[in-house]
């Protein structure tokens, strides 16, 4: 029997999972603390506290262009 990793939804990631995904994509470490600071600053979360990678990325882009 194969050991299957549990599936992960890109629409419902924990802060830790999002940090891993973003770190792998960016090929540099994205810390849990950085993501938590973004949440504290208004990054969108789901009702259960998880995050959507798409919503989080869109929020980051919006923040980068705020005030321009």
* pLDDT, tens digit, 9 for 90 and up, residues 15-62: 999 999 999 999 999 999 999 999 999 999 999 999 999 999 999 999
> Residues near 34 by Cβ (< 8 Å), separated by ≥ 6?
19
Residue 13 backbone dihedrals phi, psi, to 5 degrees = -100, 145
Q: Is the model's pTM score more than 0.75?
A: yes
**23 part of a folded domain:** yes
Domain that holds residue 54: 15-65
**5 part of a folded domain:** no
**42 part of a folded domain:** yes
Domain count, the chain: 1
**19 part of a folded domain:** yes
């Amino acid at each position: 029997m194969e050991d299957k990793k549990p599936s992960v939804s890109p629409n419902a990631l924990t802060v830790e999972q999002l940090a891993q995904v973003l770190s792998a994509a960016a090929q540099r470490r994205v810390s849990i603390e950085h993501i938590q600071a973004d949440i504290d600053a208004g990054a969108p979360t789901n009702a259960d506290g998880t995050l959507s990678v798409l919503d989080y990325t869109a929020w980051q882009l919006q923040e980068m262009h705020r005030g321009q």
